[in-house]
Amino acid sequence: MSGALRRRRRRSARGPAAERARAGTGPHRSSRVDRTHYLFLIPVLVVFSLSITLPAVMGIFYSFTDSIGFGEYEFVGLTNYAVMFSDPAILSAYGFTLGVALCTVVLVNIAALGLALGLTSRIRARTTLRTVFVLPMVVSGIIIAFVFQFVFSHTLPAAGQALGIGALEQSILADPNLAWIAVVLVTAWQATPQAMLIYIAGLMTVPKDVYEAAGIDGASGWQQLRNITLPLISGFVLINVIIGFKDFLSTYEIIVGLTDGGPGTATRSVAMAIFAGFEDGDYAYQMANSTIFFLITLAIALVQLRLTRGNARV
């Protein structure tokens, strides 16, 4: 009799907990999401599909036609893609875009890391200096481009004439072999603050005890940077490289305001070539160009994502 009573008490003790678990309350609450929550995703999915997915699919479709953007069209298969690989204007745009992106990534990361090291050291007015260096990030790219266009076209040549420096007397924006340097410098000037903030966040995660121990062992500043700082913030370096390279591939505003693709087509990027083609009636041809550019960007993103997952530790 006592054994049966104990079994009934154990069942009654388990009963409320089991009921709460089945009802979705208490410590055994179900992890299933109420279906009503998914209804809130429908407006976002509809807007995303109509504004991004559908235009992208339509663009890929028209890249196999001879459409000029409206009216009738005929299918031409891979003709647009085949012509691209022998078009010197397209190849020049890709070479310029990739070259500028690589150069700007290197310059931005060197400058940003140097500024971050300085602004995390024991110097006065660190907060004020951080605010000053962040200002280029909040200014529109087209405004920055127009300001530097005046500097390169008027201020520097006037200074070169006054100081007798022949290299500065002529604007580099007018030289097809040097105009890309101006694009790299201005793009880096605007992009450096964002990379600097990421590096500052990374440097603040490095324990100070590590530097103290290295200093006691007689390590110089360069040795500490090479053997301690850079390995410990390698994840942040990868983040800056990934973000920067993706952004610089699509640089448009600064080039338009600075050189407008000139002199001639010396600084015409892939994005500028695509938009220029739309205006000239080469809609289907430039949609093929856009598709190739998207695939290149996607491939780079996947490679960088693989590297980040394998090596980055943020």
Find out whether 263 and 174 touch, Cβ atoms under 8 Å: yes
Mean pLDDT for 207-235 is: 85
- Residue 185 — very low, low, confident or very high, per pLDDT cuts 50/70/90? very high
- What's residue 96's pLDDT? 94
Distance CA 15, CA 176 (A): 83
- Residue 142 — very low, low, confident or very high, per pLDDT cuts 50/70/90? confident
pLDDT in tens, 25-48: 444 445 576 777 788 888 888 988
3-state SS of the chain: helix, strand, coil percent to 5?
Answer: 75, 0, 25
- What's residue 189's pLDDT? 92
Mean pLDDT for 275-298 is: 86
For 266, the token pair is 């010396």
Phi-psi region of 246 (alpha: psi -120 to 50; beta: other; left: phi over 0): alpha
- What's residue 125's pLDDT? 67
Kindly give, in sequence order, each residue whose CB lies less than 8 Å from that of residue 92, ignoring residues fewer than 6 positions away. Answer: 265, 268
Find out whether 195 and 189 touch, Cβ atoms under 8 Å: no
- Residue 309 — very low, low, confident or very high, per pLDDT cuts 50/70/90? low
Does pLDDT of 144 surpass 60? yes
pLDDT in tens, 60-80: 898 898 888 787 888 888 889
Q: Which residues of 75-105 are buried (b: 16+ CB within 10 A; e: fewer)?
A: ebeeebbeebeeeeebeebbebbbebbebbb
Neighbours of 282 (CB within 10 A): 20
- Residue 9 — very low, low, confident or very high, per pLDDT cuts 50/70/90? low
- What's residue 314's pLDDT? 47
Does pLDDT of 6 surpass 90? no
Kindly give, in sequence order, each residue whose CB lies less than 8 Å from that of residue 263, ignoring residues fewer than 6 positions away. Answer: 173, 174, 175, 176, 179
Does pLDDT of 1 surpass 50? no
Best CA proximity match to 187, nearest among 248, 267, 276, 232: 248
What interhelical angle do 270-279 and 283-311 show, nearest 10?
Answer: 160
Q: Mean of the per-residue pLDDT values for the chain?
A: 82
pLDDT in tens, 153-179: 888 888 888 888 887 888 899 888 999
Does pLDDT of 10 surpass 70? no
Mean pLDDT for 1-16 is: 51
Mean pLDDT for 13-27 is: 50
Domain 83-311 CATH superfamily: MetI-like (1.10.3720.10)
Under DSSP, the state recorded for 53 is: I
pTM: 0.78
Mean pLDDT for 101-111 is: 94
Kindly give, in sequence order, each residue whose CB lies less than 8 Å from that of residue 244, ignoring residues fewer than 6 positions away. Answer: 104, 105, 108, 109, 191, 195
Does pLDDT of 311 surpass 60? no
* Sign of the four-CA dihedral 151, 154, 156, 162: negative
Domain residues of the chain, as ranges? 2-55, 83-311
DSSP secondary structure string for all residues of 87-110: -HHHHHHHHHHHHHHHHHHHHHHH
- What's residue 277's pLDDT? 82
Does pLDDT of 283 surpass 80? yes
Q: How far is CA 133 from CA 137, 167, 194, 203, in A?
A: 8, 29, 10, 17
Find out whether 201 and 208 touch, Cβ atoms under 8 Å: no
Find out whether 211 and 221 touch, Cβ atoms under 8 Å: no
Distance CA 133, CA 122 (A): 17
| Residue position matching structure tokens 């809130």 | 40
- Residue 312 — very low, low, confident or very high, per pLDDT cuts 50/70/90? very low
